[in-house]
Chains A and B, each alone.
Chain A
Amino acid sequence: MPRKPNNSRQTRTLLAAFLDRSQSWRHGYDLSKETGLRSGTLYPLLMRLSEQGLLEHRWQEAERPGLPPRHVYRLTASGLALAREQELDAVAAERAGALA
């Protein structure tokens, strides 16, 4: 049976973190702290989701002077749909596990 794309534990964790604050732009380091993903895992995931059109990114000016602009990320509409679908799947799997 072929494996579903974007269904790894790391990707699901990242999508869940985006879904918690779906309208906010998120920074890489904040996402790393929140999800526990190291930068070596986080950035390849961000690049792949962006290539698939599930994530949008832009440069944000620094709030404090002397610091460089920062790359920020947010799920697109299709990314949000995927994150919600995976959240529903996780809830259904939890319920099935509780009933068994």
Chain B
Amino acid sequence: MNGAAGPWRRLAVTLARHAARTLPAARSPWAEAMRRELDYIADDGAALRWALGCVVASYRAGLAHRLSVSGRAVGRTLATGGVLMLVIGVMLEENAGGQTQPPRPAFDATTCDPPDRSAENHPTPRCDALSVPGADGIAPRCGCPLAPTSPDTARGR
């Protein structure tokens, strides 16, 4: 039939073949069914309309197939992420041990060292008394604000 086919018939055949290629592989019998119907349509115009419909049908089926596949992929990704977040949340909850607030650093306002200096490298000086030769009173070893100052130290001796 296709040997002496006119241009519209040839175009219809080309479109039907394109439709057959566009359909998902699982539906190839349907693509073949649509394509073979062309041989039973005598009128070239009707055959062309039929082939155009085949293209529309194959595009619709292909789009539905892609949407279902991508929808499943998105669903799998979301489910995996949700499970991971749940596991991380449970692990954090177990490590927290019922603690609801983060621990705060203890800071003693009476020590002489600032709180960021470690005890090993910089031993905390004690605000005890130190005898100074020639001085009447006692002088502090460090700049402890609570330590008493002697009158000599205050005068710059």
> Does the CB pair B39–A68 fall under 8 Å?
yes
Interface of chain B: mostly helix, strand, loop or mixed: helix
How many residue-residue contacts, CB under 8 A, span A and B? 63
Q: How far apart sit A38 and B53, CA to CA, in the bound complex (Å)?
A: 6
Indicate if the CB atoms of A27 and B49 lie closer than 8 Å: no
Question: Interface size bucket, A side?
Answer: 20 to 34
A interface SS class: helix
Min Cβ gap B95→A in Å is 46
Binds B, one of A12-20, A39-47, A74-82, A92-100: A39-47
Q: How far is the CA of A32 from the CA of B50 in the complex (A)?
A: 9
A53 CB within 8 Å of chain B? no
Given A47-B61, A69-B36, A70-B36: A41 and B41 interface contact (C-beta under 8 Å): no
> What total of chain B residues lie within 8 Å of the partner, measured CB to CB?
22
Scan residues 56-77 of chain B and give those whose CB is less than 8 A from a CB of chain A: 56-57, 60-61
Are A27 and B56 in contact, with the CB atoms below 8 A?
no
Contact B60 A44 (CB under 8 A): yes
Contact A43 B36 (CB under 8 A): no
Give every chain B residue within 8 A of A27 (Cβ-Cβ): 37, 40
A39 touches B61 (CB 8 A): no
- Which residue of B1, B27, B52, B56 is within 8 Å of A47 (Cβ)? B27
Which residues on the A side are within 8 Å of B13 (C-beta)? none
Interface residues of B in 30-54 (CB under 8 A from A): 30, 32-34, 36-37, 39-41, 49-50, 52-54
Residues of B that sit less than 8 Å from A by CB: 1, 27, 29-30, 32-34, 36-37, 39-41, 49-50, 52-57, 60-61
A residues adjacent to B (C-beta < 8 A): 27-29, 32, 38-44, 46-47, 57, 66-71
Which 9 A-B pairs rank lowest in CB-CB distance, beginning with the nearest?
A: A39-B53, A40-B56, A71-B33, A40-B53, A43-B57, A38-B53, A68-B36, A40-B57, A29-B37
